[in-house]
A = this chain, B = another copy of it.
Amino acid sequence: MEKIKKVLKNDKFAAYNGIELLEISKGKATVKMEINENHLNGVGITHGGALFTMADYAFAAASNSHGTVAVAINASISYMKATSQGTLIAHAQEVSCNPKLATYTVHITDESDDLVAIFQGMAYRKKNKM
């Protein structure tokens, strides 16, 4: 797990955008993002790209948690609630995992525990160990 954490800490895009890994365990991960002005779109709400990025980071953590390199092949996101401040939490949970492919669902919630977005990601698992 230490090597994975190192790779995740080395994620420049997540760091640059203030997205932080809170927890990682087999098939699961949790990240947080405190919304600041740089996360907003042109109408002042949290950018879909910022939400996607935090979900994707949680997905990357969960999908690499088994110690085998996993790369994202596709993902989808649906938006439920607009936000513009506060702290968001993204929690990734493994739905299925076979030797080649694995799928994850990520829920993003706000401080009222309302669902902000739901994300589905699929990863291709390489043979390489981390």
Binding site for B on A (CB under 8 A): 6-14, 16-17, 37-43, 47-50, 52-54, 56-57, 60, 72-81, 95-96, 98, 100-101, 103, 105, 115, 118, 120, 122, 124
Each complex incorporates copies of this chain amounting to 4
> B122 touching A96 by the CB < 8 A rule?
no
Chain B residues in 8 Å Cβ range of A8 = 42
Q: How far is the CA of A105 from the CA of B93 in the complex (A)?
A: 14
Instruction: Give me 10 A-to-B residue pairs in the complex whose CB atoms sit less than 8 angstroms apart, sorted by A's number.
Output: A7-B43, A12-B41, A13-B38, A48-B75, A49-B49, A74-B77, A80-B96, A95-B118, A101-B124, A122-B122
User: How distant is A74 from chain B, measured CB to nearest CB, in Å?
Assistant: 4
